[in-house]
């Protein structure tokens, strides 16, 4: 896996920091995690999503490799799908 590809994913996510995001994460063994939150920050290896719902608050982090391998699928309010090919 090339670092250039992961850097490209990060660069495509950075302009969306602070925006509402929908995520669907495969947590293994037929478990999926589907939530809406705010893309809180991006770091060199991970990005953080803040989930703030009634009676539920959590920060979850994922790697850019998760997006590349489609373990995590992201979509923004513009309904643009974030995938390994072109976010």
With a cut of 70, say whether residue 84 has pLDDT above it: no
> Does pTM top 0.85 for this prediction?
no
With a cut of 50, say whether residue 81 has pLDDT above it: no
Mean pLDDT of the chain: 85
pLDDT tens for residues 10-62?
999 999 999 999 999 988 888 888 989 999 999 999 999 999 888 888 999 99
Task: Give 33's strand partners.
Answer: 25
The helix (run of H) or strand (run of E) holding residue 68 is helix 64-68
* pLDDT-derived band at 78, boundaries 50, 70, 90: low
Maximal CA-CA distance, the chain:
40
How many angstroms separate the CA atoms of 43 and 35, rounded? 21
């Amino acid at each position: 896996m090339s670092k250039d590809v992961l850097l490209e994913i990060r660069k495509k996510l950075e302009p969306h920091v602070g925006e509402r995001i929908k995520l669907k994460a495969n947590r293994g063994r037929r478990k999926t995690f589907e939530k809406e939150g705010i893309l809180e920050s991006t770091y060199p290896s991970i990005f953080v999503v803040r989930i703030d719902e009634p009676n539920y608050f959590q920060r979850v982090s994922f790697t850019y490799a998760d997006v590349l391998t489609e373990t995590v699928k992201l979509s923004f309010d513009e309904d643009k799908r974030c995938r390994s090919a072109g976010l």
